[in-house]
A and B are shown apart, each in its own frame.
Chain A
Amino acid sequence: MRYLMTTGENSRRPDEALFAEMGAFIEEMTAAGILIATGGLEPGGTTVTSHGDEITVTDGPFVEAKEAILGFALVEVSSHEEALEVSRRFRRIVGDGDSVLRRVMGP
């Protein structure tokens, strides 16, 4: 089963040590076949809205910094608990903040 983990702002400043730790973690998870894809996200973005026949494109959403989604990871695990365990390891690296874990339905 797959889970998408999204992450907001984290307290730890990104420095060389953080990159090294995160790099090792990503490498280990990829090698184990657990991490499928990961990446950082720009704040805001572009919203495409449909309403009847009309499609509108607007900048944003512009939300408060603490609510913005700034990163994601798609993982392949064998249970919900395992997904939680992977998230816990991630959180131990990045300092204070929130991650949200959602089960991906399908494919």
Chain B
Amino acid sequence: MTSARGGGEEPRARVDAVWKLEAARVVAALTRMVHDVGLAEELAQDALVAALEQWPAEGVPDNPGAWLTAVAKRRAVDHLRRAQRAERAHERAASEAPGTAEVPDDADAPDEDADVLRLMFLSCHPVLPTEGRLALTLRLLGGLSAAEIARAFLVDETTVSRRIADAKRALAAAGAELAMPGREELAARLRSVLEVVYLVFNEGYAATWGRELVRADLCGQALRLGHRLAALAPSEPEVHGLVALMELQASRTAARTAPDGSPIPLHEQDRGRWDPVHVRRGFTAMLRARDLGGAPGPYVLQAAIAVCHAQARRPEDTDWAAIAALYDRLASVLPTPVVALNRAVAVARARGPADGLALVDALRDDPRLRDYHLLPGVRADLLRRLGRGEEARREYARAAALTHNDAERAFLDARAADVAAPAAPTTGPTLGDLVDGFLAGLAAPARRAYAQTLGRLVRDLGATTPPAAVDADDVARVVHTSWDGAAATTWNRHRAAVRSFAAWSGRPELADGLARRAADAPPAAPVAPDRVAALCADPAVPVRERALWSLLHESRAPVRAVLALDVTDLDRDDRRTHDGAVTWRSRTARLLDELLDGRTRGPVFLTDRRPGPARTPASADRCPDTGRTRLSYERAEYLFTRATGREATLRRLRARA
């Protein structure tokens, strides 16, 4: 039976819709049959291609899901028979008894649900990098195409295809099986699945402010994955906690954005616009989690906080004491700076802004929150409520300078403007003016060196701050938060910049909190060559990183010089740059070929993401074809230290033994 009045339906759209509903089941069943998730997905794709070829001509089958499963399984059986024949031939050649293994019987009624759950564990396997887990999960369990995933994560399609391929290879290399994790492993593996689902949700939820609907659909994907997981693992309270948390957050989607796209804070939202369907499903999931009992985990606690909000009909009815108590418990099981900041907000509501401010101020030294715009944002709110208008205004301005979201920046600027103008308007130059004046009087090289240090000072203390309001403690806090972990020479360079500026502005005491540091211990020990070889051959690591590490190791060139290379600088035939400054050998040559893959211009090493619309980097640092920007030293360093478990830095990669 074909659909007579298809409502303009195209076979492709129909195949796609069927696939999104059936992908998880089909791929899970195939993986059980062939014991290889990569092969299972290929077989499933073959079945999809067959559908696209046959359905337009022969009509869409009555039960398209069953059709796809049947075709894919037939191909799997064919594959297994071929493999067995090959194996038997091999065994006969070795004069041994013929193999007796049979193609698994499809009629033994396997447990479809258990297969899907195992597939979730597999696609969120801890051997995979986070991006690999996200891409593989959306691909295998959500039935999304590489193009759809790429659009959702603002990367190009090749990157996503590579992440998926790398992930499959890494799973095969690790010998990861479609088996249920053992009891001792189960908790950690489940946490990984929950984390992936929540990351997918947050990626979509953060995007709805930008009205990017493709990305907002990620919320729907995450909710579906969450519900599916809850049905498959009904005795795990954290699973229900996550579903409750996502449902309650989803209930506020319509209410949290003003018609002009600007965000509306929770306590100012029109609660009538909270979607009761999501609220109800969130409450239901929460009740399930509570019925299961046990000590509440991070998702249940966060969901419990969301429940408190959802239960308050008006903002003033919110039970802040209960929320603050929940945050106290959450901070002990999930001790992240962001949770600590939210806890401070709750405490401020429950016990007053002064108590909250004390908690926030304790976080100002945390380098992880250095560029997090909500820290000055929250501080500003509390200062305003304490009547410290001028300080609040400066904090709003700092928060606005740190956010990457246009709508949010406009909102923070408006807040800053709302705060009562200072009682005695400052007439003298601001901190920003003073720094500009100081830098203008320097020769170019010194200006560039000092601009980084003083730019950070201005950003953190506020450009409009009157210099008299700044003291040595403020300066010391900024410099310590930013560069405490830096090498002694770097630290001393920043210190010199601050001292020079302080002396010039007639207030040398501003640098008093900064002690000179003894020079570094002997130069960093090199990374062992076989360690480098292993890193550069690890299929779980993206080719960009491997090419960079290999190049640094083989060329011994300075890290910044290598990151500054453009495709046009390379003479790939002669394995050197045109100016001869950087040379390399065969491993790097191979990795560079793989990395560049047809690119003819732009930086060699690019970031994963395109920059947001608000940030337009210099064109020399942007690839004209992909729009992505040059990989930064900081990011490259981070990727390397993460890959080596924090034991080595990029400089050690190029050090000589």
A interface residues with partner B (beta carbon < 8 Å): 31-34, 36-37, 74, 76, 78-82, 84-86, 92, 106-107
Contact partners of B17 in chain A: CB under 8 A:
79, 81-82, 84-85
Asked whether, in the complex, the Cβ of B20 is within 8 Å of the Cβ of A32, the reply is no
Closest CB in chain B relative to A24 CB, distance in Å: 12
Beta-carbon contact of A31 and B227 below 8 Å: yes
Min CB distance A26 to B, Å, is 13
Contacts of A81 in B (CB 8 A): 9, 13-14, 16-17
Q: Could you tell me if A92 and B62 are in contact, using CB atoms closer than 8 angstroms?
A: yes
Are the C-beta atoms of B9 and A33 separated by less than 8 Å? no
Q: Smallest CB-CB separation from A86: which chain B residue?
A: B21
Instruction: Return A53 CB to nearest CB of chain B, in Å.
Output: 27
Q: Which residues of chain B from 185 to 234 have any CB-CB distance to chain A below 8 Å in the complex?
A: 217, 220-221, 223-224, 226-228, 230-231
Given contacts A32-B227, A107-B273, contact A84 B9 (CB under 8 A): yes
Q: Closest 3 A-B residue pairs measured CB to CB?
A: A81-B17, A33-B227, A31-B231
Residue ID in chain A nearest B272 by CB atoms: A107
- Name the CB-closest residue of A to B226: A33
Contact B20 A78 (CB under 8 A): yes
Nearest CB in chain A: distance from B84 CB, A: 35
**Pair B21/A85 contact, Cβ less than 8 Å:** yes
**Chain B residues, Cβ within 8 Å of A85:** 14, 17-18, 21, 64
Number of interface residues of B (CB under 8 A): 27
Q: How far is the CB of B129 from chain A (nearest CB, A)?
A: 27
Interface presence of B63 (CB below 8 A): yes
Chain A residues, CB < 8 A from B220: 76, 78
The answer for the CA separation of A36 and B7 in the assembled complex, in Å, is 24
**Residues of the B chain whose Cβ atoms lie less than 8 Å from the Cβ of A84:** 7, 9, 14, 17
A76 to B217, CA, bound (A): 12
CB distance from A5 to the nearest CB of B (A): 14
| Shortest Cβ distance from A1 into B: residue | B220
Q: Is the CB of B275 closer than 8 A to any CB of chain A?
A: yes
Inter-chain CA distance A36–B405, complex, in Å, is: 33
Contact, CB under 8 Å: B224 / A34: yes
The distance in angstroms between the C-alpha atoms of A106 and B278, with both chains bound, is 13
* Complex interface: chain A residues within 8 A of B230 (CB): 31
A76, B251: Cα distance in complex, Å: 13
- Tell me whether B173 is interfacial, beta carbon within 8 Å: no
B497 CB, nearest partner CB in chain A, Å: 53
Q: How far is the CB of A20 from chain B (nearest CB, A)?
A: 17
How far apart are B517's CB and chain A's nearest CB, in angstroms? 56
Cα-based distance from A107 to B254 in the complex (angstroms): 7
Known pairs A32-B227, A32-B228, A107-B273; A78 contacts B16 (CB<8 A): no
12 residue pairs A–B, Cβ–Cβ below 8 Å: A31-B228, A33-B224, A33-B227, A76-B220, A79-B17, A79-B20, A84-B9, A84-B17, A85-B14, A85-B64, A92-B62, A107-B275
**Chain B nearest CB: distance from A73 CB in Å?**
13
Contact between A82 and B7, CB atoms less than 8 A apart: no
* A33–B221 alpha-carbon span in the complex (Å): 10
A92: B residues at CB distance < 8 A:
62-63
CA distance A33 to B224 in the complex (A): 5
Q: Please give the distance in Å from B523's CB to the nearest CB on chain A.
A: 55
The answer to whether B620 has its CB under 8 Å from any CB of chain A is: no
Query: Is B277 an interface residue when CB atoms closer than 8 A count as contact?
Result: yes
Contact B277 A36 (CB under 8 A): yes
Besides A33-B228, A36-B277, 14 more A-B contacts (Cβ < 8 Å) are: A32-B228, A33-B224, A33-B226, A76-B277, A78-B217, A79-B17, A80-B7, A81-B13, A81-B16, A84-B17, A85-B14, A85-B21, A106-B254, A107-B275
